[in-house]
Each structure stands twice: as C-alpha cells, then as structure tokens.
Amino acid sequence: MTDEQREQKKAYLREWYAKNRERQIAAVGAWQRDNRERANANKRAYVERDPERRREQANRHAAKPEVRAKVAARPERKEWQKARNKRDAEMLSDGFVRRIMAQHTSMKGSDLPQGLVDAYRELMKLKRAINEKRG
Amino acid sequence: MKNVDELRGQLAEVFAKLRAGEMKPGEAAELANLAGKMIVSAKVQVEYYALRKEAPTIAFLQAECLTPPQQVMK
C-alpha cells in the first residue's frame, strides 16, 4: 500500500467514524454490558499496559467543563468522600494503611503482604496512643 | 522475635501496657521506633524483589505467606 493509499484509507475511516460514531459507541456499550467480565479484563489490561496514558485520560475527562459542572452540582458526594476518608483514617482501614505504606515507593498498596500491613496498623495505633499520652 | 506476626503481637502488648499505665510513653516510643525500622526494612525487601520481578520466600514474612492473600477492600 502506498502512502497516498494509506492516507485515503485513513480519511475514509475518519469519515465513516464521524457518520457512525453514535451507533458505534452504542454497539460497544451494549457489548460491554453483555460481556461484563471480558470488558473489565480488557480495561484492566489496558490500564496495566499504559497507566500513565490512563491517568492523562482521566485528568482530561475531569477537566471538561460539563464534568466539572456535574461534580459541582453534587457537593454531598464530596462531603461523603471526605467523611469516608476521615473514617478510614480513624479506623485505620486496610486501604488507608496500604496507601500510607506505599507512599514514596514504586509499589501499589495492594502489592504489600497482609501480615506487614497488619503489623504497620498496630504500629500506627501505638504511635497514636503515645502521642495521646504525651498530650 | 522471628516473624511479622510475632512483631504484631509484641506491638499489641506494648499498646496494652501503655494504655494500662504500666509503661512510660518514652519507653513505648523507643520500641515503636525500633518496630518501625523492622517493618520498613521488610517493606524495602518486598519492594526490591517486586522490582526484580522475583517472588522468593522472605523468612520474616513467612508466617503469613502460608495463608492466601486477603482481598483488598478499597
């Protein structure tokens, strides 16, 4: 295939997508709903393949005016998230402890062995008690 | 102290003694500091093997390696 033919094909596909965009998105959505497990596996594989790109996409999405407006229209969700974070910190939930432990490392919280997380939770409890006693 | 489970047990003991007033905060802080060093060194070891894509048995974590990893609730 020559460069010119490649360009022609690209242009044709772009045009086709512009015409069929809605139908295509609906078809993919329907397939994802019908094949939830495979769709989730595909999504996970995509994130693992290129986490940086996924993060950029998420940031771009969050920066869209309509998304920001949607978030702003639901302040109770933000409050709920704040309350949940506070509760997690107070209760030393697994996710919270793992997140703290994984800070400044190349690991994710989920990479840490449970025994180590439990020991760190105990240590955090002890440190809190020490600070409380010291006032 | 041979593994992380024993360390956790000892920390719980120190916590109970501190709460009961049987141990001074300064003494408990020293023990907490030492325990922190042990946990961090084990964490560094885990990270090192993760970066090398190796999964050897770490003696200090062995007790809990015998059980399947728990599901992480986020």
Contact residues for A71 (Cβ-Cβ < 8 A; gap 6+): A62, A77, A78
- Contact residues, chain A, for B46 at CB < 8 Å: 107, 111-113, 116
Mean pLDDT of B46-65: 84
Cβ B73–A95 below 8 Å, yes or no? yes
- Contact residues, chain A, for B30 at CB < 8 Å: none
The predicted-structure confidence for B13-42, as pLDDT tens digits, reads as follows: 999 999 999 999 999 999 999 999 999 999
* Percent of chain B topping pLDDT 90: 66
Residue B64 pLDDT exceeds 60: no
CA distance linking residue A115 with residue B66, whole number of Å = 11
CA distance linking residue B45 with residue B31, whole number of Å = 21
Picking from A122, A124, A131, A132 by the largest number of B CB atoms within 10 A of its own CB, the best residue to mutate is: A122
Residue B3 pLDDT exceeds 50: yes
Q: Tell me which residues of chain A have a pLDDT lower than 70.
A: none
Q: What is the pTM of this model?
A: 0.66
CB atoms within 10 A of CB A106: 9
Residues in chain A: 135
CB B7 within 8 A of CB B38: yes
CA distance linking residue A62 with residue B65, whole number of Å = 40
Say whether the ipTM exceeds 0.90.
Answer: no
- For A1-133, strand residue ranges (E) read none
Determine contact: B29 vs chain A, CB below 8 A: yes
H-type alpha helices, B1-74 = 4-20, 25-51, 62-65
Task: Look at the block and give the residue holding tokens 């020490």.
Answer: A130
Contact residues for A115 (Cβ-Cβ < 8 A; gap 6+): B3, B4, B5, B8, B61, B63, B64, B65
Token pair for A67: 């998304």
Local structure of residue A108 (DSSP, 8 states): -
Residue B45 pLDDT exceeds 50: yes
Q: Is A13 helix (H, G, I), strand (E, B) or coil?
A: helix
CA dihedral sign of residues B8, B14, B17, B21 = negative
CB B46 within 8 A of CB A72: no
pLDDT of residue A59: 95
Minimal C-alpha gap between B31 and chain A (Å): 10
B47 vs A106, A125, A126: nearest CB: A106
pLDDT confidence band for B57 (50 / 70 / 90):
confident
Token pair for A2: 């020559």
